[in-house]
Amino acid sequence: MNYKCITYILGWILKVEGVFLALPLAVSLLYRERTWPVFLACALLSLVLGTALSFKRPENFQFYAREGYVGVALGWIVMSLVGALPFYFTGEIPSFTDSLFEIISGFTTTGASILPRVEDLSNGILIWRSFSHWIGGMGVLVFVLQIMPMTSGQTMHLMRAESPGPSVSKLVPRIRTTAFFLYGIYVMLTVLEIILLLLGRLPLFDAVCTAFGTAGTGGFGIRSDSIAGYSPYVQVVVTIFMMLFGTNFAFYYLIIARKLKDAFCMEEVKLYFGIFAAATLLITINILSQIGNVGDSLRHAAFQVASIMTTTGFATADFDKWPEFSRTLLVFLMFIGACAGSTGGGIKVSRILMYMKTIKKELAILIHPRSVKVVLIDGKKLDHPVVRAANIFLISYAGILALSILLLSIDNFDFTTNVTAVISALNNIGPGLSLVGPSGDFAFFSGFSKYVLMFDMLAGRLEIFPMLLLFVPYTWKK
């Protein structure tokens, strides 16, 4: 283990976070709030610590997959510890455990909150909550890769550890250019959503916070009723952009590169929108008698399916009061998640597609034992290491899910609350059902349960393995 390299990476992460803290500082100054000295102090602390840790580049700057995974996991933990300080020192979230829960929920784009009323927060804190989604959505390491001096192989180790999905592919030959392209698309889509929300007569502050939450597929709102209080136009715009941010960003690259046939033939994207259309239709029919008319039923169904499937977590209605079929279907969508290479969470549509094709192949081999079958996605054969990693991911995912549910049961809350709270945290969704439904929060859990859920949120955002490796003794050997 090359500890000096990891320390150097942590330093760059803290420096970037210090720069990011300039936004809530500026908002606090603009609104003449008393919170600005806290943001200034936190920004300076982050910059000073980051500079101290990365002041001198290690002479032996060699690291491989192990350092990449550990660097990413520790980076997100350190970033969260510093990011929680504004919540705590402004006094707006008096408990440090709750402050840490809130910022981890933000950075991991989960959107689960311990706050019963977000309207009581200052504008500086509100923008920091929403901005944390935007930072975590694409990944802070993807941003760092564009400015930190590293070789292509080293950047690939970091990007593989942080990027969502079963595998990481370079859109262009240079991984640094890939990172630049991803952030370029991310920024352009965010700006476009802000413009469209402003056209819907949304105040600028509301539009920016909503766009940050949508872009990161996070779900922190600036109103306790989430998106329900906004106009149908705003809800439709948010629905569209939730789906866009939940799409594999390689799809946009192919469109920009004028490879339209390859783009619209992506099997993952077709399955992603197919699941969305089917689930929307089924829920629309199921809630029609409760909502009253087709238009509103379709709007609420489409919004909630997009919100849950992309793991954003916004709500236009309390879906916990919907019929049992709709509630159950939404829970299934929590597991599926968005596309690989997007800002969404969950198991990912690409893995679901891989599992479906693998099952189909194995069934065919049972009937024709001597036949040779391969799994193809987009016409390309899946390598055995990719399939093996996907299987190990699923086993690890199931183990963490089961253990977390068991640990949460110590608090003695109902089964639905415990199960959906863990599903929500591990898949980075936000709301669950029962006590953690759209109208509830996570404040009632004990400190122990909150730390379990914090681990789940980080594990879900970082695709399980980086967090698990922290507990493997071999990881820390030189």
Which residue did the predictor score with more confidence, 168 or 194?
194
In this prediction, residue 475 carries a pLDDT of 82
pLDDT tens digits for range 432-477: 999 999 999 999 999 999 999 999 999 999 999 999 999 988 887 7
pLDDT tens digits for range 128-169: 999 999 999 988 777 676 666 655 555 566 666 666 656 545
Which residue did the predictor score with more confidence, 362 or 63?
362
In this prediction, residue 179 carries a pLDDT of 76
How far apart are the C-alpha atoms of 478 and 34, rounded to whole Å? 48
Quick one: how many helices (H) and strands (E) in the chain? 22, 2
State mean pLDDT over 216-221. Answer: 93
Q: Read off the pTM.
A: 0.94
pLDDT tens digits for range 272-322: 999 999 999 999 999 999 998 999 999 999 999 999 999 999 999 999 999
**Cα–Cα distance list, 373 to 154, 351, 357, 378, 380 (Å):** 35, 19, 11, 16, 13
* pLDDT beyond 90 at 369: no
* pLDDT beyond 80 at 177: no
pLDDT tens digits for range 69-109: 898 999 999 999 999 999 999 999 999 999 999 999 999 99
* pLDDT beyond 50 at 173: no
In this prediction, residue 67 carries a pLDDT of 83
Contacts of 80 (CB under 8 A, 6+ apart): 100, 103, 104, 107, 458
In this prediction, residue 192 carries a pLDDT of 98
**Cα–Cα distance list, 280 to 20, 288, 334, 438 (Å):** 37, 12, 14, 19
